[in-house]
Amino acid sequence: MIEEQDNRGGYLVSREVADAIMRIAASVGTIMSQAAKWPMTSDELAVPNYTGSFLKGSYLGVDSPGTVTGLTFGQAQLIIKKWQLAFVVGNDLLADASVNVADWLLALGGEAMANMIDYQGFVGGANTGDPFRGILNYPSTITVDETGQSVTSYVLPSGSTTFATFAVMDDSSAMIGDMEESVLDGAAFYMNRTVWAKLRTQKDGNGNYILPFAGLAKPNPTMESYVGGGPIKPAGEILGYPVYTNRHLPAVGASSVNGFSDAASNPFLIFGNMRAFAFGDKGEMRVGQFESGTWGGKEIALADQRGIVYKHRHALTLTLPRAMVVAKTHA
């Protein structure tokens, strides 16, 4: 009998299992960490917004009345939807595992909700059944329209039909210029990590990298890279504005992922102020445990299992669309 082979007695020696589960956690949490949070006590909340033109007033003439300026208001609607995550786990596993499975599953549920909120906030509306509309799927306008409720669309120059053709100096400067100064404080760039990887290796007309190497940095570099950044902590900066990466924004080489491709006429990169995005919160996440009932066609009581359900009620909407500029590849 030898320990190394199960069929010669090795199964008699039990394996040791570490008290932790190794995995790569999803890079999520951009929307929940940066959006304006509105506590909600009912299922619907109207957030008023001003949709009129910028006011200037007028000067009075001699013995003549001044003009009357009309004020135009609109409103963004936060409508609560219920999110749910459900799965079945064996009672013996919960009781006997050396890993704290219950705590691990709770963390996994919170990550799943943040992952879905990021998807809905950036991309929502791409698939049938999405309850919310994401920034990339919001109606866009190329011309500046003071009264329009649409995001500003920045189209890359002729010939720039892929994500990697985004010119850091030219295109970033143009997108910043499309934003009203009053919302520039707090604005940031949002893109997929693969797009950021391409921008980090761009060169100037002399063949030098725009992103300076450590020790060779210019006093005010156009780009900077921060190690370990991503969805919550900035991955870097472009022209002084932080860069956040998110897994749900279109990736380099994507072929109809979430409805977007790395091809002509596709939105892929956002410059905007996330305080213009509203997250309506209807309370804490609820966790329910069920020891009977049919789950996936099986009576879990007879299988000595329990069902775990996570629920949270929340709402998402873009309250000030003009605070977002979306880069789009040329047709």
Asked whether 155 and 328 are in contact (CB, 8 A), the reply is yes
Identify the pLDDT of residue 214.
Answer: 44
Q: Please report, rounded to a whole number, the percentage of residues in the chain having pLDDT higher than 70.
A: 92
Give the rounded distance of the alpha carbon of 9 from its chain centre: 53
Cα–Cα dist 26/230, whole Å: 11
Burial class (CB in 10 A: 0-12, 13-18, 19+), 113: buried
Q: Is the pLDDT of residue 216 over 70?
A: no
Based on DSSP, count helices (H) and strands (E) in the chain, helices before strands. 5, 17
HEC letters along 149-164? CCEEEEECCCCCCCHH
Cα–Cα distance for residue pair 204/211, rounded to 1 Å = 10
pLDDT of residue 237 exceeding 80, the answer is yes
Q: What is residue 149's predicted lDDT score, i.e. its pLDDT?
A: 65
pLDDT digits (tens, 9 = 90+) for 118-160: 999 999 986 778 999 999 998 876 554 444 568 899 999 999 9
pTM (2 d.p.): 0.86
Model confidence over 36-49: pLDDT tens digits? 999 999 999 998 88
Most confident of 103-107, 192-196, 212-216, 287-291: 192-196
The domain spans of the chain are: 139-274+322-328
Q: Which residues pair with 38 in a beta bridge?
A: 280
Distances (CA, A) of 325 to 76, 138, 157, 240, 291: 18, 11, 16, 17, 49
Residue 222, both tokens:
């156009």
Q: Where are the beta strands (DSSP E) in the chain?
A: 36-39, 44-50, 73-79, 81-90, 140-141, 151-155, 187-191, 223-225, 236-238, 241-245, 267-273, 277-281, 286-290, 294-295, 298-299, 305-318, 324-328
pLDDT at 279: 95
- 236 pLDDT tier (thresholds 50, 70, 90): very high
Read off the pLDDT of residues 189-214 as tens digits, 9 standing for 90 and up: 999 999 999 999 988 888 888 877 64
pLDDT exceeds 90 at position 290:
yes
Structure tokens at 155: 């189209």
Of 152, 166, 191, the closest CA to residue 276 belongs to: 152
Side-chain half-sphere exposure of 281, counting CA atoms within 13 A: 14
**If you classify domain 139-274+322-328 with CATH, what class do you get?**
alpha beta
Look at 169 and 61; give whichever has higher pLDDT.
169
Q: What are the backbone angles phi and psi of residue 39, rounded to the nearest 5°?
A: -70, 135
Q: Which residue has the higher pLDDT, 26 or 78?
A: 78
Please tell me the predicted confidence (pLDDT) of residue 134.
92
Three-point CA angle 182, 211, 206, nearest 5°: 115
